[in-house]
Amino acid sequence: MKTVTARAWIAHPEWASEDDAEDPTRLFYTGMDTDMKTEGWLEVGTATITLKSTLTKKDLVLSMVETQEAKIKKIQADAENEINNLKRKIMELQAITYEA
């Protein structure tokens, strides 16, 4: 277990109710060196957070592998879309010069 001090924020103060600042489940937390004011967030104070992680090393590695596999799939899909766009453009250009 590890205990840290964090900054507590309301992410959308324009929609917040008065009770939100007192409800830890409605807040977001960042490290003490992170300032979210530039994103429009409202700082409500600090929180002491104790983390009891249940994540095993195996689960962490599996998650990292899944993340990389998802990135590969996205890159492949984007590349396939770009290839299809280029092939379509080639076909259009060939249709312009086609003589029966």
State whether 72 and 92 are in the same domain. yes
State whether 43 and 7 are in the same domain. yes
State whether 81 and 62 are in the same domain. yes
State whether 63 and 82 are in the same domain. yes
In this predicted structure, what is the pLDDT of residue 9? 98
10-residue mean pLDDT series, the chain (100 residues): 96 93 96 97 97 95 98 98 97 84
- Expressed as residue numbers, the domain containing 62 is 55-100
Strand ranges across the sheet with 2-10: 28-30, 2-10, 42-51
State whether 46 and 63 are in the same domain. no
State whether 38 and 73 are in the same domain. no
In this predicted structure, what is the pLDDT of residue 99? 75
pTM beyond 0.75, yes or no: no
State whether 12 and 41 are in the same domain. yes
In this predicted structure, what is the pLDDT of residue 28? 97
State whether 60 and 47 are in the same domain. no
In this predicted structure, what is the pLDDT of residue 85? 98
